[in-house]
Structure 1
Amino acid sequence: MAYVTVPKDLTKVKSKVMFGLTKRQLICFGTAVLIGVPLFFLLQRTAGSSTATFCMIVVMLPLFLLAMYERHGQPLEVVAAQIIQTVFLRPKERPYQTDNFYAALERQIQVEKEVRRIVRKAQRTVPKEKAGGGPGKGGAETHRR
Structure 2
Amino acid sequence: MAYVSVPKDLTKVKNKVAFNLTKRQIICIGIGAAIGIPFYFLTRGILGMSNAATVMVILMLPAFMFAMYEKDGMHLEDVILHILNVKVFRPPVRTYETENYYESNPETTGSKNASREKKGGKTGVKKKK
Q: Classify the TM-score, shorter chain.
A: 0.7 to 0.9
Distance 1:16 1:97, change over 3 A: farther
Q: How does 1:1-145 map to 2 (within 5 A)?
A: 1-97=1-97, 103-104=100-101, 106=102, 110-112=105-107, 116=126, 120=128
The TM-score with structure 1 as length reference comes to 0.68
Q: Which structure: greater helix fraction?
A: 1
Which structure has the bigger radius of gyration? 1
1:141 matched residue in structure 2: none
- Higher RCO (C-alpha 8 Å, min separation 6): 2
Report the Cα distance in structure 2 between the residues aligned to 1:19 and 1:65, rounded to whole angstroms. 18
Alignment partners' CA distance in 2, 1:9 and 1:59: 35
Query: Is there any run of 5+ residues in structure 2 with no aligned partner, and where?
Result: 109-124
List 4+ stretches of structure 1 deviating above 6 A: none
Residue by residue over 1:92-122, the C-alpha shift from the partner in whole angstroms, topping out at 9 and shown as x without a partner, is: 11234567xxx54x467x4259x936xx58x
Report the equivalent of 1:126: none
Q: Distance in 2 between matches of 1:31 and 1:111?
A: 59
Q: What letter corresponds to residue 51 of structure 1 in structure 2? A: N
2:117 aligns to what?
none
Q: Which AA in structure 1 matches 2:92?
A: K
Q: Percent identity?
A: 48
SS across alignment from 1:111: coil
Between the aligned partners of 2:69 and 2:59, the Cα distance in structure 1 is 16
**1:135 maps to which residue?**
none
Across the two proteins, how many residue pairs are aligned to each other? Answer: 113
